[in-house]
Structure 1
Amino acid sequence: MDPSSAWENFLEAIAALMSKALTDKETEKVIAGFNNFQQRLQRLSSQNLLRMNLEITAREKRVSNCKHDGKTCTQNVTRGFFKTWLIGYIVKYLIGVLPAILTGKILKNILKRSGGNDTVRFAFFLSSFLSAYKGVLCMMRYYRPDHKGDRLNAFVAGSVAGLTLLLDKNKNRRTALTLYLFTRSIQFGSSYLMKKWAEHRDANRAADRQALMNSSNRGHKGKFVSERRWDDILAKIMTSSAATVVMSLTAAVNLYSCFLEPSAVRKSYWNFIMEHSGLPQKFGPMFPPMVDTFRSQFNVLKEMPRDVLTGEFARAVKMYGTLNFIVTLVFQRKKLATEPKEVAYRYIRSTLRSCMFLTVYVLAAFYVPCWMRAILRKETAFTYLFNGIVSGLAVLIEAPGRQMELALYCLPRALETTWNLLLNRGLVRNIPHGDIALFSASMGVMMTIYQNDPSVINKHYLTVLTRIFGRN
């Protein structure tokens, strides 16, 4: 039976009963009231059904926006937390004990200390960071179901997750993590801008070709459009020289500080540079005073080129030989079993190139100032900037794929050194929790690019990010 006819029959039955107790005029008023009630009930029912339908549709849209197939948002966050905590604890523990294992100094207190409170807190920070990102990203998608794309969602999620750096109480590690991620956000952001610039150039070129074709069809002589425009040439120069420029600038800052203001550079980096110079090995306890003498007398280190070429190359072989051997075993063990000669050849070639790079870098860092003083016959601050610029050119010896990585390895130290130099001159001042703000902003940028434009991230880092953050 039709609902409307059933309702009318019901009203007629009520009216028949009422007619026995009420007058005709009163009965008409009652029936009119029932009719008004019927109309209001129908309107409310239609609105409720429409609202319920919209809510169900919106809920379906919200669920479909997330990409963690087979898991609810809660499961995705919870599993990510416990999985990351376990992996973070194991990795941090191994980093603490591996040097002792490799040197044969496996002591009980080292094994116990490596798995102590610092390791637990670091693992808790990592797991909180990852689960916060996943949770906030799902929440943003839930409350913004009609927005296509994840740019704002990913930026907010990454920025909020970055606040978990407060859980890590190790200040040096916080600074290192902040500078590293800030450097990577610059790299990924620059790659994104270069991609958009390339798309803009392609669009302009296509528009010029179309305009030329239209002009030719109308019988007009069009101007020939070159496939290579000035902005294409500029983009190629920027892309090919970026690693060299970054390496030279970072080397200039770091070496300037090492020689003139060592308090501004991190002590570990200063020790690394001086150790590879061979000065501590040559002068022993007299090494610290020799640094000042080096800046004032040319004849003290007149045999520096020979010492570097012989001593530093041997030190570089020891460092890069061990490092490349471990990398080869970890990442190419399958290929090592099938193509041992090819792997061995690439290992030797890569090691020799890296050793030559570091040898030339150190040679320029310590001998160019002597050469500059011999030419200028005076001591200038520019001398210790110029030697860094020349040292940075040594990166051209390395394989093209490693040049930018080496430059980005030095960039965080140069940024920290630059900030310390500015602090020493009173030009800036430290901001409370500034590292947290920078870390959050860097994570926001990185996650925005990772979620929306992963093609601009190189394959190696994209694989790492995918393994860490997964599909969200």
Structure 2
Amino acid sequence: MARKKERHREPPAGPDEEDKLSWRSAGGDVWERALDESDISRDVDPDKSFFDTDDVTRAVDRLTTAMVRAGGVGCVLKGGLNLFSWLAGRSKSRRRGSTSGKPGPSVRDALHDTAAFASFLVAFAGTYVSVDECLALRYGKQQSKQWRAAVAGLVAGPALLLADGPHVKGGGAKRHYGLATYLWLRSTVLIARCGLKRRDSRDTHPLAKAALAPFAHEHADVALMMASTWVILSCFVLKPDALQGAYGSFLNKHGGKTKAHYAALRAMALASTAAQTRDAIRSAAIALFPTGSTAHEALMNVANMDDGSLLAAKPTLWGLVLYPGSDALAHFFGFYREALGRALPIYVPLYAIPALIVHRHRLLGPRGGVLAMRAAAGAGRSSAFLAAYCACAWLAPDALQRLVFGTLSGWTVSVSVPLAGLAVLIEKPSRRQELGVYCASRALEAAAVCLVSWGWVPRRLAARTRADVALFAAGAAAIMHCYNTERDVFRSKYLNVLDFVFGNAGHGRQCIRHVGSYYQVAFVGGDTHKNESASRQFRDVSS
């Protein structure tokens, strides 16, 4: 039976409203208005038979739509990344010559990888919706509302095993700790927001209030970024094998130096005796600078000092390796300028492409110039952040070793590098938390690699267990629970994606259906955008 669907048009939220969101962005007023002003509890029979014809049609339509849309999202995301990697590999091969360097990923491998990732999302969406609807049938929609989505997310979590297809190189053995850890950390952010909503309640235990206190601070995201930077940059200098895959390559590129520079600094920092320091200095002079050059001679002069003078000169070694013949501030500003040039090609497409896809019709309208300037400002701000982050990563250890510590060692590097995390203050508040959570996931991944390599976690245990699947399932359970019962703790962009795949209406009645279509999302160009608070309220669309 055809149903007439109404399209609600409301004025969009203010341009900077969401930028103010942070850890504490979890007000309960949206829910209170929704519950107080609606007649949900009076007019709906919570235990209406699941076998009602309309309800069966709704459930089947929700399942089919969720699987199709999840597959489309997987193809677009993974396919786009693989296409970019393939094009980048082709470009490097042409510059270096077809016979040099490692071969890039083949088209066949890229297609298999894309298909595997899309299959994972299809299986996750299908399993989640199926379990959600079956539990609603068995236990009642309203009675199971508080736990049903968490169970469905937990059951759907093992779909991550499909993300590595059997035809992909290394298929079946690859771990997805980056994705799993990131999702798990996203779930902890949502749980923290849920707790902060109830922090002032008299029913909240004092220990819970104390545990939530750090998250309530205005700059909790900056603290998270600094803690993550401590692990990531310490590993980057002292234990680079802990940063694996594309993220390690990203740091190598934006570090702005050669691997020989990184190896020289690592050897000098880890040297514990004068003899080891002398050997590290001589190796660095030979590897980095031509014989007879000023920089080469400066390092050799330090290496030829007696033990006491050599140890006293250790604070200057950082600068002799990174910027021989210059000074720290000149190197900082010169490096910042070069780093900005490396960052802009990353962030300009990252901001421009979504703006062109989502707002392309509005870009041609009266406010097109404002939207374009906003995207340009975002790209410039993010590029400035990355450039400052990398420049401070080199400046902070150099300054503290000269002015405070008076030596160069592993611990002086580890204590100094967190200051680079302060560069995140350049970003807008909502972006700070995104960066903090992402970097925290990479930091936890690097820490886990260190624990295994140090023998603190048995290698056999790490090889046989799928901790990534367990983390992913736990994170999925928490996120889907919040999606079903605590929708106001989500930012609108995440809520829109989840609604697009899993059903974006009827949460109040627990009769979830899809209202928005792929056509509206992909072709309307953002004209149907609703304001943030309205999109999170219960909407009656089941009648």
Structure 2 length-normalised TM:
0.62
Q: Counterpart of 2:352?
A: 325
Q: Equivalences for 1:279-290 in 2 at 5 Å?
A: 279-280=257-258, 286-287=260-261, 289-290=263-264
Q: 1:259 to 1:91 in 2, by over 3 A?
A: closer
Counterpart contact for 2:214–2:220, Cα < 8 Å: no
- Residues 1:445 and 2:447 are matched in the alignment: no
Equivalents in 2 of 1:405, 1:184: separation in Å?
A: 9
What residue in structure 2 maps to residue 156 of structure 1?
151
Q: State the partner residue of 1:272.
A: 250
- Map 1:285-434 onto structure 2 (within 5 A): 286-287=260-261, 289-292=263-266, 295=269, 297-298=317-318, 299-302=320-323, 303=326, 304-338=331-365, 339-375=367-403, 376-429=405-458, 430=462, 432-434=465-467
Structure-2 change in CA distance of 1:242 and 1:334 (3 Å): farther
The separation in 1 between residues aligned to 2:268 and 2:341, in whole angstroms, is 23
Q: How far did residue 419 of structure 1 move?
A: 1.2
Q: Tell me the residue number matched to 1:180.
A: 182
Matched residue, 1:255: 233
Distance 1:396 1:200, change over 3 A: farther
User: Are residues 1:95 and 2:116 paired?
Assistant: no
Aligned counterpart in structure 2 of residue 461 of structure 1, from 491, 494, 501:
494
341 and 381 in structure 1: CA distance in 2 versus 1, 3 angstrom threshold? same
* Matching residue of 1:244: 222
1:77 offset after TM fit, Å?
Answer: 2.7
Displacement of 1:416 after TM fit?
Answer: 0.2
Counterpart residue identity of residue 357, structure 1? F
Tell me which residue corresponds to 1:221.
Answer: none
Q: Deviations over 1:116-164 (max 9, x none)?
A: 3333332222111111111111111111128625222111111111122
Counterpart Cα distance in 1 of 2:340 and 2:435: 18
Check 1:178–1:237 CA distance in 2 against 1; reply closer, same or farther (3 A cut): closer
**In 1: Cα distance, 2:248 partner to 2:123 partner:** 34
CA-to-partner distance for each residue in 1:378-427, whole Å, 9 max, x for gaps? 23433223333211111111112211111122111011011112222322
Q: Which amino acid aligns with 1:435?
A: D
Contact 2:127 2:155 in 1 (8 A): yes
Following superposition, the deviation at residue 428 of structure 1 comes to: 2.6
TM-score (norm 1): 0.71
Separation in 2 of the partners of 1:145 and 1:182?
A: 29
Contact 2:182/2:441 (<8 A) preserved:
yes
- Alignment coverage as a number of residue pairs: 381
In structure 1, distance between residues paired with 2:456 and 2:105: 43
Contact 1:121 1:167 in 2 (8 A): yes
Residue 199 of structure 2 aligns to a residue whose secondary structure is helix
Q: Contact 2:154/2:476 (CA < 8 Å) preserved in 1?
A: yes
Task: Return the alpha-carbon distance in structure 1 between the equivalents of residues 89 and 107 of structure 2.
Answer: 17
1:134/1:288 CA distance change after superposition, 3 Å? same
Quote the offset at 1:286 in angstroms. Answer: 4.5
Cα distance, 1:312–1:161 mapped onto 2, change above 3 Å:
same
- What's the counterpart of residue 208 of structure 1? none
Q: 1:333 to 1:286 in 2, by over 3 A?
A: same
Q: RMSD over aligned Cα, in angstroms?
A: 3.4
Within 5 A, what are the aligned runs for 1:204-219? none
Q: Does 1:84 align with 2:70?
A: yes
Residue pair 2:161, 2:469 contacting (<8 A) in 1 also: yes
Q: Is the 8 A contact 2:187 2:475 kept in 1?
A: yes
Give the match for residue 118 of structure 1. Answer: 113
> CA offsets per residue over residues 277-334 of structure 1, 9 Å max, x none?
3213xxxx84454443674613222443143122112222232233222233223323
Q: Which has the larger displacement, 330-339 or 72-81?
A: 72-81
Secondary structure class of the residue paired with 1:148: coil
Supply the AA of the counterpart residue of 2:369. K
Pair 1:371–1:267, CA change in 2 (3 A): farther
Bigger Cα Rg: 1
Distance 1:246 1:344, change over 3 A: same
Unpaired segments ≥5 residues, structure 1: 1-56, 205-230
Q: Would you say the 8 A contact 2:127–2:152 is kept in 1?
A: yes
CA distance in 1, matches of 2:65, 2:373: 43
| Separation of aligned partners in 1, 2:105 and 2:266 | 38
TM superposition shift of 1:95: 3.3
**2-structure distance, mates of 1:239, 1:63:** 49
| Residue range with higher mean Cα deviation, 322-331 or 81-90 | 81-90
CA deviation string 1:32-73 (max 9, x = no partner) = xxxxxxxxxxxxxxxxxxxxxxxxx99734458x9x967243
Q: Which segments of 5 or more consecutive residues in structure 2 lack a partner in the other structure?
A: 1-44, 95-103, 165-170, 270-313, 505-511, 513-543
**Alignment check: 8 A CA contact 2:185 2:441 kept:** yes
Distance 1:448 1:424, change over 3 A: same
Equivalent position SS for 2:147: helix
Q: Answer 1 or 2: higher relative contact order, Cα 8 Å, separation at least 6.
A: 2
Question: What amino acid does structure 1 have at the position aligned with 2:176?
Answer: R
